[in-house]
Amino acid sequence: MAVRLLSHELSDLCLGKPALRSLSVTSTIAEALEVLKTSDDNFVSVWSCDHKAKTSSGFESAAGFCDNYDDDDCRCVGKVCMVDVICYLCKDENLVSPSVALKEPVSVLLPKIPGLVLHVEPSCSLLKAIDLILEGAQNLVVPIKTKLSNKRKQHQKPSPTVTVHKGREFCWLTQEDVIRFLLSSIGLFSPVPTFSIDTLGIISSEILTIEYHSPASAAIGAISRSLVDQTSVAVVDSEGCLIGEISPFTLACCDETVAAAVKTLSSGDLMAYIDCGGPPEDLVRVVSSRLKERNLNGMLEHFSMSMSCGGFSSSSSDEESMAASPLPRSGRYSRSMSYSARMVRTAEAIVCHPKSSLVAVMIQAISHRVNYVWVIEDDCRLVGIVTFSDMLKVFREHLETIA
């Protein structure tokens, strides 16, 4: 059984994975928003190609069919999500005129950190993949083995957001995919999965926090960092007890106008604003009022238009119309109305205790579709965090003994 596990290639993990939706590195942020709001994935891949890719219908794009290409000339250079856009719009100059900011190329959103997204062959071993992830890779771009036939290409409707090169589509693998795969063979690692995370020494004290009453704008840097680290920002009280979190995963389920809330609300109010039910009407009014006070008319117009599409009018004078029920959620869900398509996160933090077993924490993280779990004491005092990367280190060490 152990030998069988080690014999697996990445192509085995790619079974059933959807083809990547993608953008050219020269696309605008506005174009990226359009793709993100209609996607079932939080991220869209960004590709750089030194040639023009043509579909059979003549569509030219860096994200399309590429029958004649060089692998080195056409590569995935990164990924973007709604959180990248939100943090970008939080810059003072972009709040003044968001419509101008959205015309910038999507390349300005890409983090200047090499190796976050790497191309690998389908024959790449599981061990090699784990090593790449532990070295800092977050997404491994893998060609899907099944080739598109010429007949299929001729009849397939061209899609400017699906990357197909030489008849091959691409998918990508994440830390979560590898952890899920290892969980399916968890018995091979016995008794390690039953050990507590404290015993294994994988609780990290390097955490990002912000105080509940502090301005949410003070957390912008931490939000950007947590996105790169695939963690979150803990919201704590004055005694260091965990109250909730400002999670990139939750923000990714919102739309770009959340930037206005980040710049005008406290951290505690922002948690309520981005919760899964949608922003409460009283907080929407607060955001609108503060944007007006600061003469951020460009963002105010963009914000008001988005709220109007969600069924809310900030010009209403009827105080009794401030219902306790939240507004319809703006962004991709208000367009598709398909909450069941993906898990919707709340601002409630996922927690465990130092004595929780490794396998229990793994299941917690996977079931909530996050890459981490907060660790707290019985009095809710925040101790640290456990990440998928920490877990993979344990499994990698154990694999060394059975290799």
Q: Which CATH number is 19's domain given?
A: 3.10.580.10
Beta strands in 18-71 (DSSP E): 22-24, 43-49, 53-54, 60-61, 65-66
- Residue ranges of alpha helices (H) inside 10-101 are 10-13, 29-37, 82-89, 92-96, 98-101
Phi-psi region of 380 (alpha: psi -120 to 50; beta: other; left: phi over 0): left
| Mean pLDDT on 42-62 | 59
Dump pLDDT digits (tens) for 79-92.
999 999 999 999 99
Structural contact between residues 97 and 198, judged by C-beta atoms closer than 8 angstroms: no
- State residue 86's pLDDT score: 97
Provide, rounded to the nearest whole percent, the portion of the chain with pLDDT above 90.
67
pTM exceeding the 0.75 threshold for the entire prediction: yes
Q: Looking at the 3D structure of the chain, how many domains does it have? A: 1
Whether 163 has a pLDDT exceeding 80, the answer reads no
Sheet with 242-246, side-by-side order of all strands: 208-211, 233-236, 242-246
In a domain, 308, yes or no: no
Q: Where is pLDDT greater, at 145 or 303?
A: 303
| Mean pLDDT on 351-376 | 97
Q: Are strands 60-61 and 168-173 parallel, antiparallel or unpaired?
A: unpaired
Please state, in angstroms and rounded to a whole number, the distance separating the CA atoms of residues 101 and 89: 7
CA angle 283, 288, 293 (to 5 degrees): 120
- State residue 1's pLDDT score: 53
- Residue ranges of alpha helices (H) inside 275-381 are 281-293, 297-309, 332-336, 358-367
Dump pLDDT digits (tens) for 289-304.
999 999 999 999 999 9
Q: Give the three-state DSSP class for 12.
A: helix
Least confident of 36-50, 178-192, 349-363: 36-50
Please state, in angstroms and rounded to a whole number, the distance separating the CA atoms of residues 264 and 351: 28
In a domain, 36, yes or no: yes
Whether 325 has a pLDDT exceeding 80, the answer reads no
- State residue 322's pLDDT score: 37
Q: Percentages helix, strand, coil for the chain, rounded to the nearest 5? A: 45, 20, 40
What residues contact 7, with CB distance under 8 A and at least 6 apart?
none
Please list, residue by residue across 286-301, b when 16 or more beta carbons sit within 10 angstroms of its beta carbon and e when fewer do: bbbebbeeeebebbbe
In a domain, 396, yes or no: no
- State residue 399's pLDDT score: 85
* Integer-rounded Cα radius of gyration of the chain: 22
Q: Give the three-state DSSP class for 21.
A: strand
- State residue 337's pLDDT score: 30
Domain interval for residue 141: 1-51+74-148+162-181
| Mean pLDDT on 357-382 | 96
Mean pLDDT of all residues belonging to the chain: 83
Which helix (H) or strand (E) element contains residue 154? helix 150-155
